[in-house]
Amino acid sequence: MKSFRLLTALLLSAAAAFAAAGEIKPYDQAAVDQLAASGKPVVIVVHASWCPTCKAQAPIQSELMHEPVNKDVTMFIVDFDRDKPLLKKYNVGMQSTMIGFRGRTEVARSVGDTTHDGIESLIRKTHA
């Protein structure tokens, strides 16, 4: 019985930790617009599968988005090679660009930053 309670407690804490994570998803204009209209924090990541800098950023982005402090942040991934109109819309010239928004306002931008502190700083700037 004790082991069942322990297992239940572990599963509940794992579920709570998962529920407290920010979302990472492919770019969706309707979702971005909805979040912006409600003043929610958004991070746009311009990624290319062949980019070594993007590959270095990805695990840091994932780790940070799973921190409870970032539970209200949504990160949208833009494909550098396929989403050319979005590059123009966001004035992006190269892959590995990250743009942070609080509502409709751009609050942070970085290009090629692969440091934990730099990426964390950009995400935190989106918080209200």
Query: Residue 34 falls within a domain, yes or no?
Result: yes
Range of the domain at 85: 21-125
Is 27:89 a contact under the CB 8 Å cutoff?
Answer: no
pTM of the model: 0.84
Query: Residue 115 falls within a domain, yes or no?
Result: yes
Question: Residue 111 pLDDT > 80, yes or no?
Answer: yes
Residue 125 phi/psi, 5-degree rounding, is -65, -15
Provide the CATH number for the domain around residue 66: 3.40.30.10
Query: Residue 93 falls within a domain, yes or no?
Result: yes
* Number of domains within the chain: 1
CA 9 – CA 60 distance, rounded (Å): 28
Mean pLDDT of the chain: 88
What lies within 8 Å, CB to CB, of 97 at 6+ separation is: 45, 46, 90, 109, 110, 111
Q: Residue 19's pLDDT is what? A: 52
- Residue-wise pLDDT tens digits, 9-48: 333 344 344 456 899 999 999 999 999 999 999 999 999 9
